[in-house]
């Protein structure tokens, strides 16, 4: 789960950076780019949550350090 | 220094403190709560930059959607404590490098009154004319991620 938190922290930092980028007047590109970044972040979060639930169902853990094997346990 | 600048600085400081506090919190659920605070402060910063539409989108999408998803995920999965990462020094060095680059590039920018406020009418018109291709691509991306999330999370053995 910490991976998702880190991803969203990255997205928030990205949004903050683009908000500083809109300090250039007479340009609305930055604001629309924020919109599309939000769209991409939402897609990533949805797929990420699905993956995490699937991994947890399979490995019975959600810590990335404890997920070691690719193959199903015999 | 007017009132808006003071509010912006306060929101930025609160956002930065909560973002840093995420790193030093043991429980994942507390990290999610701090992330909510950070997202709300970023929405407030958007509002002070005359971007009210973006602030509302940020509130609805992040604080309403993504954080609910994350809290669902945390409640459905986590049973044990997260162990702290042991390469904290390297990551903080990388973060400081990125921060110094950003400060260096932001040095020459004048912070004046920014661009005009965009009404939702203008935003809709621009989305359909000037930014039509990214708009349609984002719709396609949403569809793909919807299908992908369903494919990932459903059980394949069932027909």
Summarised one tens digit per residue, pLDDT across range A24-66 is: 655 666 677 777 877 887 887 788 788 878 877 777 766 666 6
Q: Which comes out higher in pLDDT, residue B70 or A65? A: B70
B152/A50 CB distance under 8 A:
yes
**Which distant-in-sequence residues (6+ apart) come within 8 Å of B89 by Cβ?**
none
Query: Taking 80 as the threshold, does the pLDDT of residue A74 lie above it?
Result: no
pLDDT digits (tens, 9 = 90+) for B99-157: 888 778 766 655 555 555 667 777 788 778 888 888 889 899 999 988 888 888 776 66
Q: How distant is the Cα of A10 from the closest Cα of chain B, in angstroms?
A: 10
Q: Give pLDDT, residue B140.
A: 92
Highest mean pLDDT among A9-23, B11-25, B82-96: B11-25
Residues of A in contact with B126 (CB under 8 A): 28, 32
Query: Taking 80 as the threshold, does the pLDDT of residue B61 lie above it?
Result: yes
Which among B35, B114, B138 has the least Cβ separation from residue A39?
A: B138
**Among B31, B53, B43, residue whose Cα is nearest residue B127:** B53
Which among A17, A26, A34 has the least Cβ separation from residue B115?
A: A26
Residue % of chain B over a pLDDT of 90: 3
Q: Give pLDDT, residue A10.
A: 61
Q: Cβ distance B70 to A8 under 8 Å? A: yes
Q: Give pLDDT, residue B81.
A: 61
Q: What is the ipTM of this complex?
A: 0.71
Which among A15, A40, A45 has the least Cβ separation from residue B69?
A: A45
- d(C-alpha B107, C-alpha B130), whole Å: 31
B38/A5 CB distance under 8 A:
no
Mapped to the 3 state alphabet, what secondary structure does chain A carry?
A: CHHHHHHHHHHHHHHHHHHHHCCCCCCCHHHHHHHHHHHHHHHHHHHHHHHHHHHHHHHCCCCHHHCCCCCCCC
Residues of B in contact with A4 (CB under 8 A): 70, 73
- d(C-alpha A21, C-alpha A29), whole Å: 9
Q: How distant is the Cα of B80 from the closest Cα of chain A, in angstroms?
A: 8
Query: Is the Cα dihedral B97, B100, B101, B102 positive or negative?
Result: positive
Q: Cβ distance A49 to B67 under 8 Å? A: no
Q: Give pLDDT, residue B159.
A: 53
Q: Cβ distance B36 to B63 under 8 Å? A: yes
- d(C-alpha B82, C-alpha B24), whole Å: 12
Q: Give pLDDT, residue B20.
A: 79
Residue from B94, B115, B139, B156 whose CB has the most chain A CBs within 10 Å, to mutate: B115
Q: Give pLDDT, residue B4.
A: 79
Q: What is the mean pLDDT of residues B88-92?
A: 78
- Name the DSSP letter for residue B79: -
Q: How distant is the Cα of A49 from the closest Cα of chain B, in angstroms?
A: 6
Mean pLDDT score across all residues of chain B: 78
Q: Give pLDDT, residue A59.
A: 73
Q: How distant is the Cα of A69 from the closest Cα of chain B, in angstroms?
A: 19
**Which distant-in-sequence residues (6+ apart) come within 8 Å of A64 by Cβ?**
A2, A3
Which among B45, B51, B134 has the least Cβ separation from residue A31?
A: B51
Q: What is the mean pLDDT of residues B82-97?
A: 75
Q: Give pLDDT, residue B143.
A: 92
**Which distant-in-sequence residues (6+ apart) come within 8 Å of B116 by Cβ?**
B50
């Amino acid at each position: 789960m910490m991976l998702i938190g880190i991803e969203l922290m990255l997205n928030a930092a990205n949004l903050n950076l683009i908000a500083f980028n809109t300090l250039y007047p007479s340009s609305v590109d930055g604001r629309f780019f924020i919109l599309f970044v939000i769209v991409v972040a939402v897609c990533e979060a949805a797929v990420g949550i699905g993956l995490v639930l699937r991994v947890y169902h399979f490995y019975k853990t959600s810590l990335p350090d404890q997920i070691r094997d690719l193959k199903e346990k015999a | 220094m007017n009132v808006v600048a003071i509010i912006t600085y306060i929101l930025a400081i609160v956002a930065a403190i909560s973002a840093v506090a995420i790193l030093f919190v043991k429980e994942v659920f507390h990290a999610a709560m701090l992330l909510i605070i950070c997202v709300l402060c970023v929405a407030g910063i958007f509002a002070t930059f005359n971007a009210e539409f973006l602030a509302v989108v940020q509130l609805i999408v992040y604080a309403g959607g993504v954080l609910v998803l994350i809290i669902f995920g945390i409640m459905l999965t986590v049973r044990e404590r997260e162990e702290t990462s042991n390469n904290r020094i390297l990551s903080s060095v990388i973060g400081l490098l990125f921060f110094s680059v950003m400060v260096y590039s932001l040095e020459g920018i004048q912070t004046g009154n920014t661009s005009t406020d965009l009404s939702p009418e203008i935003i809709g018109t621009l989305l359909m004319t000037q930014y039509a291709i990214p708009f349609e691509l984002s719709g396609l991306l949403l569809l793909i991620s919807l299908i992908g999330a369903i494919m990932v999370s459903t059980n394949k053995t069932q027909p």
